[in-house]
Amino acid sequence: MKIALIGKPKSGKSTVFNALSGLSVSTDKYAPAATEPNICVVPVLDERVSRLSEIYKPQKTIYANIEFRDYPGIFGGQIDSKENTLYNDIKTCEGFALVIRNFADDELDSLIGEVQPLQDFESFEEEMILNDLILAEKRLEKIHLDYKRGVKTPAIQLEEKVLEQICEHLRENKPLRTLELKEEEAKSLKGFAFFSAKPLMVILNSDEDGFGKNEEMIRAFEAKGIMAIEIAGRFEEELAKLEDEEAQMFMEDMGIQSSIKDRLIHQSYLMMGYISFFTVGEDEVRAWTIVKGDNALTAAGKIHSDLARGFIRAECFNYEQILEHGSEKVLKEKGLFRLEGKNYLVQDGEIVHIRFNV
Ligand SMILES: Nc1nc2c(ncn2[C@@H]2O[C@H](COP(=O)(O)OP(=O)(O)OP(=O)(O)O)[C@@H](O)[C@H]2O)c(=O)[nH]1
Ligand SMILES: [Mg+2]
């Protein structure tokens, strides 16, 4: 899973990135925008994987991971061609985390304007919506040109219909996230990547003094259907440099329940609607990521395309059950080993073994 840290210039994206990764990329106030994103891969240290690993004692334990990409602040300004490349890069991410400045800084006030989180959010949405509208309208123009040339297929006609629906929605200033499309309609748009269709969360980057006092603002984002979390970016960047125990002490003082890494991982899963299932054995215990509502066949395909192609049955049991009974042998004796078919909806925390034949 790739999550993009994006937002207006100097909103604290790289500060958040440093807090997450423990790295020290530049957060120079006066540095011009970078041309490339900073990238880190954060393991999802799911306690369930660790416990399963204790039970199976495999040679390898593989956690899921999330790639966070910290982009330069290209929003809220004119788009030039260099930024176009960055836009395309951003679109390869599955979800967006919009970092919004909520810390006082006189110098930044005069450089880029005052703190105004809700307005910053609105103008970001508008920018995304406008970008998508331009993209959709361009494609429609191309389709109409093709019609004049006699190129008209049912597939293109469906695409035209969906694009018109999309333009209408966008012209009402609504993000595509909130437009429901039928499966075949959505399919006809494969190949497009619309900004406003991506899952989005807000990271409200507050200063130490204000942290924890912004409930109302968080609620205001939620009222717009946007998940929002508050962090104290600069403070958490410093924490990432400390030993765990020391960091824990400071966190408690600030009333921070869990590290920014844990919170962002958790929030990313929620935002994407992702869940985990596990495969276990002597060679490997491993976590896999799927979308809630995915069936056993899709889960099999995640592991290997052969497993989906030759799918026979999925043997499943629950994480809690193996913890309670300690071994698969006991689970079998107790009849807790289930055989499920292709259409079975895999649940979060299930251990899955695919029987297949190719
Ligand atoms: N007081 C305070 N300052 C912060 C906080 N987060 C970031 N800053 C400061 O704001 C400035 C910009 O932070 P960056 O993390 O570089 O911002 P950015 O969004 O990555 O900037 P660009 O990539 O240039 O758009 C730096 O001087 C940071 O130290 C915060 O939570 N509190
Ligand atoms: Mg930066």
Q: What is the mean pLDDT of each run of 10 residues along the chain (358 residues)?
A: 94 96 92 88 95 96 97 72 79 96 94 93 94 94 95 93 96 95 88 92 95 95 95 93 90 88 95 96 96 96 96 96 92 92 96 95
CA–CA separation, 244 vs 194, rounded Å? 40
Establish whether residue 73 lines the binding site of ligand 1, counting it when its CB lies within 6 angstroms of any ligand atom: yes
Q: Which atom of ligand 1 is closest in space to residue 70's alpha carbon?
A: 20
Supply the pLDDT for residue 254. Answer: 87
Both tokens assigned to 53 = 């690993």
Q: Is the CB of 25 under 6 A from ligand 1?
A: no
What pLDDT, on the 0 to 100 scale, is given for residue 313? 97
Q: Which residues contact 184 (CB under 8 A, 6 or more apart)?
A: 158
Phi, psi (rounded to 5 degrees) for 278: -125, 150
Q: 């960047």: which residue's tokens? A: 237
Query: Could you tell me the pTM of the whole model?
Result: 0.93
Residue type, 283: D
Q: Please tell me the predicted confidence (pLDDT) of residue 79.
A: 54
Cβ–ligand 1 contact at 27 (below 6 Å): yes
Cβ neighbours of residue 326 under 8 Å, at least 6 residues apart?
A: 55
Q: Which domains does the chain have, with CATH numbers?
A: 2-46+55-114+199-272 (3.40.50.300), 128-196 (1.10.150.300), 293-356 (3.10.20.30)
- Please tell me the distance from the alpha carbon of residue 17 to that of residue 5, in angstroms, as a whole number: 8
Tell me if 103 CB under 6 Å of ligand 1: yes
Using the 8-state DSSP alphabet, how is residue 96 labeled?
E
Looking at residue 77, what is its pLDDT?
A: 61
